[in-house]
Structure 1
Amino acid sequence: MQIPNQDTIIALSTAPGVGAIAVIRLSGPEAIEIVNDVFHGKSLTEQESHTAHFGTIRDNERADGIAKIIDEVLVTLFIAPKSFTKENVVEISCHGSPFIVQQIIKLFLRKGVRLAKPGEFTQRAFLNGKFDLAQAEAVADLINADTEAAHTAALNQMRGGFSEQIKQLRQELIHFASMIELELDFGEEDVEFADRQDLKNLVEKLLSVIKILANSFDLGNVIKNGVPTVIAGKPNAGKSTLLNALLNEEKAIVSDIAGTTRDFIEDEINLEGVVFRFIDTAGLRETEDKVEAIGVSRTREKMKQASLIIYLFDMKNDSIVEIHRDINMLENLGVPFIKVGNKVDEAQPELYEKLKEGNDVLFISAINKENLEALKTKLVETVNLDKFKTGDTVVTNIRHYDNLIQTQNALTAVMTGLESDITGDFLALDIRQALHYLGEITGEITTDDLLSNIFSKFCIGK
């Protein structure tokens, strides 16, 4: 597939703002010739690909007829098809003044170059066959990766590991799809080209692989987006103190007055390559204070939406009955939680002995920062990065996950049809559906709306 009306596009590829250097990128059939018209140095049209050239950018079309130097620049050439977009690409490294950047871009706009849309460089790379759609999406993930795990996952996907798995699954299914379609062509002769048992074995194999990929999304989502972690407990259990201790800064207001936290306070830390997004909430208790009651209600909603809960209780003041009641409530939520007893330095001896028996409570002193490292270790253990560290493919993109589920549903329908001995035309319909959803992952099947939705989320200049 090719882009219609391939004009030349331009955008700032480095972050906007003042900096030592800014990089302006052009891509399109006439990119080199257009830049050559305003570049004073070597003739760019006579240079080889992947070479850099020093010179000046000059505005030759001033009303007074005097060419004005805009900046001294370094121009790098990438001649098609040996470029990111597989088109002629020119990258202009200029001084990082926003004024200089603006003047250079305005100069090229006057020469007929068009401003690039968000993600248009990567979109052109995809449409020109540089890589498939899943790999193109990994480019954005790589740019936004803020942990080692997220970086590794994006890099693996960009290198095509996930894509190859999907393409292999699809290719195996295409073979049987063609056999079923052939049967339909000879419908009146009652012939069977696709062995039903072989097809059943294949569908079982595909369902097994797809289930593993789909199940990896929980881990992939954590790697990419972090773990929403709610700190919940009664007022004055030390939730805000714990948040401040974990973040190592005074983020939340700490007070002896119960119910100080009325809304959510959020921040995040990186623990061994995983981002935990901590949410300090209003205390869990019945209250007649209308404002505090709203905060408690919102806390319960946040707990339902969380991926992990730190249940913090007060070893100095809470009773075993209150703690067990809260634990029972958390178990009914179905969200993983860690039991943490705070103020262990002031703990009721009897309460401490009872809770120590179960060996599933972590005892800390948030105010003294005692045993916080053990809590951090426990948090990382709940994520379980072992699967990711083995090098297995991990799905991190919600669109890919949705397509895998749709494929799973279509293949389940194929299996049901095989067991019910339905006719080939109905089997073919479900097989086509499965092929369609697998093809959407890698971009073998696309629509303009799908591409627009994906690439509009990229930054301009990429």
Structure 2
Amino acid sequence: MLDQATICAIATSPGMGAIATIRLSGEKAIDIAEAVFQSTNRSKKLANQKANTLHYGTISEGAEIIDEVVMSLFRAPHSFTGEDIIEIGCHGSVYIQQRLLQVLIKHGARMARPGEFTQRAFLNGKMDLSQAEAVADLIFSSNASNHKMALKQMRGGFSKEISKLRGQLLHFIAMVELELDFSEEDVEFADRKELVRLTTEIEELLAKLANSFKLGNVLKNGVPVAIVGETNVGKSTLLNALLKEEKAIVSDIHGTTRDVIEDVINIDGTAFRFFDTAGIRETTDQIENLGIERSYSKLEQAEIVLLVTDLTNPMDLIQQRIEKIRERVNDQELIIVGNKADLAGRDKIGEMLSEIDLADNENVVFISAKQQQNLDSLIDLLKESANLQQAEGADVIVSNIRHFEALTNAHEAVVRVIDGLNNGISGDFLAQDIRECLHYLGEITGEISNDEVLGHIFKNFCIGK
């Protein structure tokens, strides 16, 4: 149930800044603000002012003026939460912010819980649950791809797809249940061929949405890239060259990197998470062997594998290392990086190109990590291997694990409906599977929800949002 208390919180980032914003929402928001605010025009009362207006004045506690502020007035239901909202723009002193909060609480407001403003927007029908979750994704977006995906979802792109599916299924179940009401007359209201066509379309769309989660998860959390190879082939040097800083220790001593070193690089608006792994070789060092096992583990988790080879080594040795890594690569993209090209020369590069047969998911590039030569070609291959062009043309990309789980369950239910139609099962069994599919789709948008789910979602929000 919706808490009727008037809530307040600092809506801007914690700490000191030039200005800060304090948000107040609830049925008493305007009255509380009126009690502490003095407009420069003494006869001007907030309660009498129009919505979506700004008002300049001071906030006082007794005879003490705390700050000069600008009040933004929004009236229900045309506000973010659907309630009356006052937003106070004040100076960014931490002391001033805390004093203003104390004054508001003293006059009847209470501190907002994490995500409570957005939760009220959901409960008041200003947005559905998937849009509310997108608000948090938008706040925490750290690159252009993540930002674009969250913004599209917040503006209802995903919700429209789900609402369309639910509407089709509701029409479907209405026809089936109407038949059940007239079961004694053996009347068929729903054309079974049309129902098969409709449910097949729904199944394909659900599968498409669920399958987009892999790309959505990559865009949200960054493309995982594992840098693997033997010791002393230049893996750490490559990581440092890509990061443009000395992140990893570089040494001629074999086995310097014994644990996974991780960092993120933003390439054309997309985050790539690089893992510099321990050099893979035969060793009796127990600690180094633990690092090598972690290398294989990160290789399996990666979307892209950079296999760094030393071009100054004999060709048969390079081929052995490539085959060893190929055994560990499943459906990931493999980029074979021929390092130390400046030392090996053109003949060695030509020999490698002629000797190596590349699979469809493989590419090769020749660089000098130490001299930072041809890194642009490697970066181009990374962008190409990440297959990010899919995101450009996609209307909806699923990036939330809760949505993915619900879509998967809904897909399984609609597959049972299709099987039931093909096998001629009775309408009551069909209706049960359709209701289950509707239930899972409703979980995504919040049409079906419980306090435990809502509490889990909104507890991860910022206070003030």
Letter in 1 for 2:442: G
Unaligned stretches of 5+ in structure 1? 61-66
Mapped to 2, the partners of 1:425 and 1:119 lie a distance apart of: 41
SS in 2 for 1:94: strand
Distance of 2:216 and 2:230 partners within structure 1? 33
Matched to 1:457, the amino acid is N
Match of 1:343 in 2: 340
Match of 1:207 in 2: 203
Q: Deviations over 1:379-431 (max 9, x none)?
A: 00012222222253222222222211111100111111112211111111110
Residue 163 of structure 2 corresponds to residue 163 of structure 1:
no
**2-side partners of 1:144 and 1:74: how far apart?**
27
Counterpart-to-counterpart distance in 1, 2:374 and 2:19: 46
> 3-state SS of the aligned residue for 1:25?
strand
CA contact (8 A) 1:59 1:69 kept: yes
2:312 is the alignment partner of 1:309? no
Q: Which amino acid aligns with 1:368?
A: Q
Q: Report which stretch shifted further, 243-252 or 99-108.
A: 99-108
Aligned equivalent of 1:35: 33
Distance 2:74 2:323 in 1: 62
For 2:251, what is the secondary structure of its paired residue? coil
2:326 corresponds to 1:330: yes
Judging changes above 3 Å, is the alpha-carbon distance between structure 1 residues 5 and 163 closer, same or farther for their aligned structure 2 residues?
closer
**Percentage identity across aligned positions?**
53
Equivalent in the alignment of 2:20: 22
Cα deviation for residue 100 of structure 1 reads: 1.1
Alignment of 1:10-409 (within 5 A): 10-41=8-39, 42-60=44-62, 67-317=63-313, 319-334=315-330, 335-347=332-344, 351-357=348-354, 358=356, 360-409=363-412
1:13: how far off? 0.4
Q: How far apart, CA to CA, are the structure 1 residues paired with 2:97 and 2:115?
A: 19
CA deviation profile, 1:319-374 (whole Å, cap 9, x unmatched)? 42453344343344313221111111122777533321247421110000011000
Cα distance per residue 1:179-236 (max 9 Å; x no partner): 1122222333333222221111111111111222222222222221111111111111
User: What TM-score do the two structures reach when normalised by structure 2?
Assistant: 0.94
Residues 429-462 of structure 1 show CA distances to partners (whole Å, capped at 9, x for unaligned) of 1101111111111122111112111111111111
Cα RMSD over matched residues?
A: 1.7
SS of the residue 1:236 aligns to: coil
Alpha-carbon distance in 1 for matches of 2:314, 2:301: 26
8 Å contact from structure 2 (residues 366, 374) kept in 1: yes
Change in 2 beyond 3 A, CA 1:352/1:391: closer
Q: What are the Cα deviations for residues 239-286 of structure 1, in whole angstroms up to 9, with x where unaligned?
A: 110000001111111111111111121111111221101111111112
Question: Is the partner of 2:305 in helix, strand or coil?
Answer: strand
1:439 partner letter: G
Give the residue type in structure 1 aligned to 2:437: A
For the Cα contact (< 8 Å) 1:222–1:274, is it kept in 2?
no
CA distance in structure 2 between the partners assigned to 1:437 and 1:206 by the alignment: 14
Question: Which range is displaced more, 354-363 or 202-211?
Answer: 354-363
Amino acid at match of 2:253: I
Change (3 A) 1:348 1:291: farther
Q: Which moved more, 1:342-351 or 1:124-133?
A: 342-351
Distance 2:350 2:81 in 1: 66
Which shifted more, 122-131 or 326-335? 326-335
| Amino acid of the structure 1 residue aligned with 2:106 | R
Moved more, 392-401 or 275-284: 392-401
Distance 1:298 1:374 in 2: 28
**What TM-score does the superposition give when structure 1 sets the normalisation length?**
0.94
Matching residue of 1:452 = 455
Taking the aligned partners of 2:391 and 2:412, their CA distance within structure 1 comes to 26
- What SS does the aligned partner of 1:379 have? helix
Asked if structure 2 preserves the Cα contact closer than 8 Å seen for 1:36 and 1:43, the reply is: yes
Matched to 1:347, the amino acid is A
User: CA separation in 2, counterparts of 1:315 and 1:368?
Assistant: 14
Aligned counterpart for 2:2 among listed residues 1, 4, 10: 4
C-alpha distance in 1 between matches for 2:147 and 2:2? 34
What do residues 142-198 of structure 1 show as CA deviations (whole Å, max 9, x unaligned)? 112222222221121112122111111110111110111222223333332222211
Counterpart for residue 439 of structure 1:
442
Contact preservation (8 Å) 1:73, 1:93:
yes
Contact residue 407 and residue 434 of structure 1 kept, 8 A: yes
CA distance in 2, matches of 1:385, 1:305: 18
Partner of 1:311, secondary structure, is: strand
- Aligned-partner SS, 1:19: coil
CA distance in 2, matches of 1:298, 1:385: 27
Distance 2:65 2:349 in 1: 77
350-359 or 4-13, larger mean C-alpha shift: 350-359
Q: Secondary structure at the match of 2:245?
A: coil
